[in-house]
């Protein structure tokens, strides 16, 4: 991600007030380490006072948050806006995607720059900045993908971590053979470079060679529908790659962040690796796997089944969603992202006769916080403080973003959501850049 925050554009959002002073009154403030009944006063996008009976200037716009929770805005560590992959382009651009994010209570997203094989990382980074700047409705940062390896890539990684770019995380793929996948040698080199640069390596952990061979075998047997997607890459294929990625990170002397962990087997592999690892192992899961399971791949309707195709896939084991909530609650996993990567129906049709050609990706940037609230907080698996940790403050800490983010405290950026526990969603959000609030109901 970059440390820079680009200016926000709020065009198109129903702005209720352009005042730069806002008081959120009578709410319960939730941080990752406690809950208190407090009022929050914001001026020019910065939290100026937190307490009761605050003395504030006249004419300040007030939100009555009685019965509501006042929480740090969500940070979604994993989105793909305007990404081109598998012959299609994601339906959400940076405007639509970040607008949806804010409507769901997320005030910062971290997207992925994914260079084509052979493409300059700097060129790809600049392209992504061009796509996003001026369009985003909330803060954003960028992780950069290392999709091929050479001394030139290493040099560009060194440049990208400089203050000019501020990147501090690089993502490598162990899947998508013949596209973004790195072999183990190159993955080792990339992780060593991350360790040298004090950047955080991230991996998509699935065994791309096994997936490729299983796909050939399934197609030869006449399995062409979306059910073939999960059959070609079961839990073991994910867990093996998690273990291998941890071993390589350990050898490279690097910490490791594993994106979109989708199965109980993968979480077990991560837990096992933690007992021997020299550096931190961080696990992210997705709203999709907390929200539902892989039974959709058996749906007779191609449109329905293909809409659920993402990698790693949703798992057929129906106990997976609850297990993922428990893993987040117990700190076996540390974050929940959306991996928002939406495709129009016509694009999913590219794989009508061959599941391996269905563009991979689902929605979730708007729904991430509500899904976790419903599945984990309302069920008693997780308390609101842990909810704040896994949806916001852990990302702020892990990616070292703006230390003042992810926390409701004096002098923090006023990225705030007012959360209605009865409606199970945000009813209002304040964005620090313009100190506006908007009603999304």
Ligand X SMILES: NC(=O)NCCC(=O)O
Q: Which is nearer to ligand X, 176 or 373 (CB)?
A: 176
Nearer to ligand X, 102 or 205 (CB): 205
Distances (CA, A) of 19 to 107, 248, 356, 406, 435: 19, 52, 51, 23, 7
The neighbour count for residue 404, using CB atoms within 10 Å, is 17
> Is there binding between residue 291 and ligand X (CB under 6 A)?
no
Is 310 one of the binding residues for ligand X (CB under 6 A)? yes
Task: Provide, rounded to whole angstroms, the least separation between the CB of residue 238 and ligand X.
Answer: 12
The minimum distance between CB 310 and ligand X, in angstroms, equals 3
Residue with tokens 């994601």: 90
Closest CA to 78 of 348, 275, 357, 283: 283
Residue nearest to ligand X (CB): 360
Q: Does 341 bind ligand X (CB under 6 A)?
A: yes
Contact flag: residue 169 with ligand X (CB under 6 A): no
Q: Applying CB under 6 A, which of residues 43, 92, 238, 339 lies at the interface with ligand X?
A: 339
Question: Among 82, 139, 339, 367, which residue interacts with Zn ion (rule: CB under 5 A)?
Answer: 339
C-alpha 389/C-alpha 288 separation (Å) is 19
Among 79, 232, 311, 394, binds ligand X (CB under 6 A): 311
Pick one of Zn ion, ligand X, none as the site partner of residue 360 (Cβ within 5 to 8 A by kind): ligand X
Contacts of 53 (CB under 8 A, 6+ apart): none
User: Does the protein bind ligand X through residue 360 (CB under 6 A)?
Assistant: yes
> Cβ closer to ligand X: 26 or 354?
354
Query: Footprint of ligand X on residues 222-261 (CB under 6 A)?
Result: 260
Q: Which stretch binds Zn ion (CB under 5 A): 331-339, 373-381, 408-416, 426-434?
A: 331-339
Closer to ligand X by Cβ: residue 43 or 227:
227
By CB under 6 A, residue 68 contacts ligand X: no
Within the chain, how many helices (H) and strands (E) appear? 15, 18
**Distance between CA 39 and CA 399 in Å, rounded?**
29
Q: Which is nearer to Zn ion, 339 or 366 (CB)?
A: 339
Question: Taking Cα atoms as reference points, which of 412, 428, 388 lies closest to residue 33?
Answer: 388
- Please report which residue ranges of 45-167 form alpha helices under DSSP H: 94-103, 121-132, 151-160
Q: Contact with ligand X (CB under 6 A): which of 80, 229, 315, 425?
A: 80
Radius of gyration of the chain (CA): 21
Residue 414 site contact among ligand X, Zn ion, none (CB < 5 to 8 Å, cut-off depends on kind): none
**What distances in angstroms separate CA 121 from CA 36, 112, 126, 156, 165, one per listed residue?**
45, 12, 9, 6, 12
SS3 (DSSP) at 39: strand
Partners of residue 397 on adjacent β-strands = none
Q: Give the binding range for Zn ion (CB under 5 A) out of 85-93, 245-253, 262-270, 335-343.
A: 335-343
d(Cα 74, Cα 190) in Å, to the nearest integer?
30
The nearer residue to ligand X, 31 or 202, going by C-beta atoms, is: 202
Query: Cβ closer to ligand X: 112 or 165?
Result: 112
Residue 343: CB minimum distance to Zn ion, A: 13
Nearer to ligand X among residue 256 and residue 408 (C-beta)? 256
Report in angstroms how near the CB of residue 60 gets to ligand X at its nearest: 43
Q: Which residue in 180, 163, 160, 172 sits closest to 201, CA to CA?
A: 172
**Contact criterion met (CB below 8 Å) for 205 and 238:** yes
Question: Quick one: DSSP state of residue 135?
Answer: T
Q: Minimum CB separation from ligand X for residue 85, in Å? A: 6
Q: Does 315 bind ligand X (CB under 6 A)?
A: no
Residue 202 partner contact from Zn ion, ligand X, none using kind-dependent CB cut-offs of 5 to 8 Å: none
Burial of residue 93 (CB within 10 Å: 0-12, 13-18, 19+) is middle
Distance (Å, rounded) from C-alpha 362 to C-alpha 360?
7
Q: Tell whether residue 296 is a contact of ligand X (CB under 6 A).
A: no
The site that binds ligand X (CB under 6 A) totals a number of residues, namely 9
Is 425 a residue that touches ligand X (CB under 6 A)?
Answer: no
Binder of residue 311, out of ligand X, Zn ion, none (CB less than 5 to 8 A by kind):
ligand X
State the residues that interact with Zn ion by CB under 5 A.
339
Sites of contact with ligand X (CB under 6 A) = 80, 204, 260, 310-311, 339, 341, 360-361
């Amino acid at each position: 991600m970059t440390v820079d925050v680009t200016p926000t554009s709020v065009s198109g959002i129903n702005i209720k007030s352009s005042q730069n002073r806002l008081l959120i009154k009578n709410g319960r403030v939730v941080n990752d380490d406690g809950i208190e009944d407090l009022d929050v006063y914001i001026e020019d996008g910065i939290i100026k006072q937190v307490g009761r009976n605050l003395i504030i200037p006249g004419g300040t716009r007030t939100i009555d948050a009685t019965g509501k929770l006042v929480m740090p805005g969500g940070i979604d560590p994993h989105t793909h806006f305007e990404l081109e992959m598998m012959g299609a382009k994601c339906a959400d651009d940076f405007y639509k995607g970040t607008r949806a994010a804010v409507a769901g209570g997320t005030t910062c997203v971290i997207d992925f720059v994914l260079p084509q094989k052979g493409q300059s990382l700097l060129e790809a980074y600049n392209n992504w900045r061009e796509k996003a700047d001026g369009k985003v409705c909330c803060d954003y940062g960028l992780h950069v993908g290392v999709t091929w390896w050479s001394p030139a890539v290493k040099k560009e990684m060194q440049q990208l971590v400089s203050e000019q770019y501020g990147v501090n995380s690089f993502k490598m793929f162990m899947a998508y053979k013949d596209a973004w996948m790195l072999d183990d040698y190159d993955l080792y080199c990339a992780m060593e470079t991350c360790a040298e640069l004090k950047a955080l390596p991230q991996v998509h952990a699935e065994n791309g060679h096994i997936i490729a061979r299983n796909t050939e075998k399934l197609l030869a047997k006449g399995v062409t529908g979306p059910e073939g997607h999960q059959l070609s890459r079961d839990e073991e294929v994910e867990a093996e790659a998690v273990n291998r990625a941890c071993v390589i990170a350990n050898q490279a002397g690097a910490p490791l962040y594993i994106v979109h962990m989708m199965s109980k087997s993968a979480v077990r592999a991560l837990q096992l690796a933690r007992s021997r690892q020299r550096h931190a192992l961080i696990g992210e899961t997705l709203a999709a796997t907390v929200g539902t399971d892989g039974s959709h791949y058996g749906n007779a309707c191609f449109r329905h089944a293909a809409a659920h195709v993402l990698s790693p896939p949703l798992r057929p084991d129906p106990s997976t969603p609850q297990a993922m909530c428990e893993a987040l609650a117990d700190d076996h996993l540390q974050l929940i992202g959306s991996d928002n990567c939406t495709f129009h129906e016509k694009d999913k049709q590219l794989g009508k006769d061959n599941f391996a050609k269905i563009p991979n990706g689902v929605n979730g940037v708007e729904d991430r916080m509500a899904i976790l609230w419903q599945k984990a907080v309302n069920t008693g698996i997780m308390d609101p403080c842990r909810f704040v940790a896994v949806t916001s403050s852990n990302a702020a800490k892990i990616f070292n973003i703006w230390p003042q983010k992810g926390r409701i405290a004096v002098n923090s950026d006023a990225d705030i959501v007012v959360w209605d526990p009865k409606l199970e969603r945000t009813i209002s959000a304040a964005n620090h850049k313009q100190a506006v609030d908007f009603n999304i109901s």
